[in-house]
Structure 1
């Protein structure tokens, strides 16, 4: 049995995160670890909400804190109710220290971490991906599935490949976690800045992917990866999941650096599977 850690903001519950976690868990008898990040510095209110006629009001603060506590408790109860209805094994962790540190620690003891691309862990609006997501991806100790705000069942696998080991490692990790995915169509996508360039180690990657997927096609694009790949992925069906290599400032390939991943998260509403090669 594998363990999925699904990260939740207890004050702004992500139904899509739970839906994706339940789909993955149901397909392969996984257990869902509901990680409710209750950072003691994070509330649904700001300092102006605590101000009364005599300045900062202790009574107002206590009422606001109780309201947040009630919201978190209801969110956890909803998570437990849905998991029970779907007959999925689950546990609940209430992490009350610094959210980023807690989630990184949870990822150490997880086979996969699922988190919504719109999570911010604060009550201010931030463009996606927020700093919280970027920091977590850079330090995560498990593969991460960054999911969109709206759930769509997985029906197609898009494999971003650049010939570097990190892209193959991500695919190996994905295959190991989700052996059931082999029944779905798969597409290996590579971008070259030179027209008619050969697919890097084309025979080897084709042979490997065909060991796992019967319905396979290969697509080679030409141009700047950050432009060409984004335009191509925007046309993908909602049921596709994108598999890519490490989220790293030091990545050699322009297909697998944090700038590319950030752009994908910014504009795409597709699940993005990211695995670091240690």
Structure 2
């Protein structure tokens, strides 16, 4: 059984994120922990500087928003009961310091986030600091889920030869053995037609041991076009590494899945060390 965190903007619970968790529970029972945070504070929590000597307290919640959060918690509990999901609700997060909230992800196998709440009121195609900061210090893999999606029937492993991309592939296989039987495409994107597939023998030996229906392909397209290419693959999930030594925030500065996340086309699995 996996422990999965479901983090909500407390006043705008993501139906897409819950639905993804529900489908995972159908494959294999999970423990689902709902974390409900005030909207303004969820946007700011992760941006506070690390290394502060005293605990950082979350500001008070407006009364009207508090009622909305309570309603969403009740809705979450009702849906979990109806779906037969074992669950927990952390109702005391308003009083916890930032380090405690980050620590929660250390004791989880996976964090699921509704991606669209992170992209409100920003320029199209450019992830905001909110999402970057929120993901940088997460201690477990993350799945970003659009509100409308098809549950994965095929898997796209985004590979660039880096240690981070290989790590993400392994983490996905370890976490979701139930999905590894599905049609899987390991894709290497290169701007140069003559460029070799990096460590092709080694990655094939690894991936083929975990993914039963594996195909490998080298795409001779600009990396900036990867998102458009992937968006045409229905019922897929994209597996991506962080592509940077400074954590997941580097994904949005360098990765070719940037637009894919920003446009909410497909669920995206991200893992970093």
2:269 aligns with one of 247, 254, 273: 273
Measure how far apart 1:250 and its partner are: 5.4
Structure 1 length normalisation: TM-score? 0.81
Structure 2 length normalisation: TM-score? 0.82
2:122 aligns with one of 121, 126, 132: 126
The 5 Å alignment of 1:26-37 reads: 26-37=26-37
The 5 Å alignment of 1:28-177 reads: 28-38=28-38, 41=41, 65-94=62-91, 95-96=93-94, 103-120=101-118, 125-127=121-123, 129-177=127-175
SS at match of 1:119: helix
Measure how far apart 1:106 and its partner are: 2.1
Q: Could you say which structure has the larger radius of gyration?
A: 1
Measure how far apart 1:74 and its partner are: 1.0
Consecutive unaligned residues in structure 2, runs of 5 or more: 44-60
Judged with a 3 Å threshold, the aligned counterparts in structure 2 of structure 1 residues 2 and 8 are, in CA distance, closer, same or farther, namely same
Task: Give me the whole-angstrom Cα distance separating, in 2, the residues matched to 1:112 and 1:262.
Answer: 20
**Structure 2 residue 262 is matched with structure 1 residue 262:** no
Given that 1:4 and 1:113 are in contact with CA atoms closer than 8 Å, whether structure 2 keeps it comes out as: yes
Task: Give me the whole-angstrom Cα distance separating, in 1, the residues matched to 2:99 and 2:243.
Answer: 18
Measure how far apart 1:99 and its partner are: 9.1
The equivalent residue for 1:188 is 186
Measure how far apart 1:259 and its partner are: 3.3
> For structure 1, which segment, 204-213 or 34-43, has the greater mean C-alpha deviation from structure 2 after superposition?
34-43
When the two structures are aligned, how many residues end up with a matched partner?
A: 251
Measure how far apart 1:230 and its partner are: 2.1
Measure how far apart 1:40 and its partner are: 7.7
Given that 1:116 and 1:148 are in contact with CA atoms closer than 8 Å, whether structure 2 keeps it comes out as: yes
Measure how far apart 1:72 and its partner are: 1.0
Given that 2:9 and 2:42 are in contact with CA atoms closer than 8 Å, whether structure 1 keeps it comes out as: no
Given that 1:247 and 1:274 are in contact with CA atoms closer than 8 Å, whether structure 2 keeps it comes out as: no
The equivalent residue for 2:18 is 18
Task: Give me the whole-angstrom Cα distance separating, in 2, the residues matched to 1:274 and 1:11.
Answer: 25
Given that 1:3 and 1:32 are in contact with CA atoms closer than 8 Å, whether structure 2 keeps it comes out as: yes
Measure how far apart 1:240 and its partner are: 0.5
2:228 aligns with one of 222, 226, 231: 231
- Cα RMSD (Å): 2.8
1:85-121 C-alpha deviation (Å, 9 max, x unpaired): 1101100013215897565332122110010112249
1:34-92 C-alpha deviation (Å, 9 max, x unpaired): 0111368579xxxxxxxxxxxxxxxxxxxx94332221111001101111111011000
Given that 1:193 and 1:222 are in contact with CA atoms closer than 8 Å, whether structure 2 keeps it comes out as: yes
1:144-165 C-alpha deviation (Å, 9 max, x unpaired): 1111121321211100011122
Consecutive unaligned residues in structure 1, runs of 5 or more: 44-63
Measure how far apart 1:179 and its partner are: 0.6
Where has structure 1 moved over 6 Å in runs of 4 or more? none
The equivalent residue for 1:48 is none
SS at match of 2:169: helix
SS at match of 1:140: coil
